[in-house]
């Protein structure tokens, strides 16, 4: 592999990792983050299902949520 090509690929990978880290940090700092809210709701539903299964029955599970923080 040509050294310049290797460098370009490495730099692109570093940019992607940096952007991913920035998004994760923003999601942690976001007070209205949909990911945290969804996780909290999932824990609440799991608790309700274990304590009152008839209350939490539904026909289909919710889809995954994405945070674009």
d(CA 14, CA 65): 26
Report the pLDDT value the prediction gives residue 16, as an integer from 0 to 100.
93
Q: Tell whether 68 is covered by a domain.
A: no
For the chain, the domain total comes to: 1
d(CA 45, CA 39): 10
Taking only the tens place, the pLDDT of each residue in 12-51 is: 999 999 998 888 787 777 766 666 667 777 888 888 888 8
Q: Tell whether 38 is covered by a domain.
A: yes
pTM of the model: 0.42
Report the pLDDT value the prediction gives residue 61, as an integer from 0 to 100.
53
Report the pLDDT value the prediction gives residue 39, as an integer from 0 to 100.
72
Confidence of residue 69 (pLDDT cuts 50, 70, 90): very low
Q: Tell whether 25 is covered by a domain.
A: yes
Q: Return the structure tokens found at 68.
A: 């674009």
The domain of 19 spans 3-53
């Amino acid at each position: 592999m040509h050294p310049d090509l290797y460098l370009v690929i490495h730099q692109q990978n570093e940019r992607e990792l940096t952007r991913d880290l920035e998004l994760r940090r923003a999601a942690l700092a976001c007070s209205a983050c949909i990911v945290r809210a969804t996780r909290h709701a999932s824990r609440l539903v799991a608790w309700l299902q274990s304590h009152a299964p008839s209350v939490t029955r539904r026909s289909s599970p919710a889809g995954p949520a994405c945070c674009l923080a």
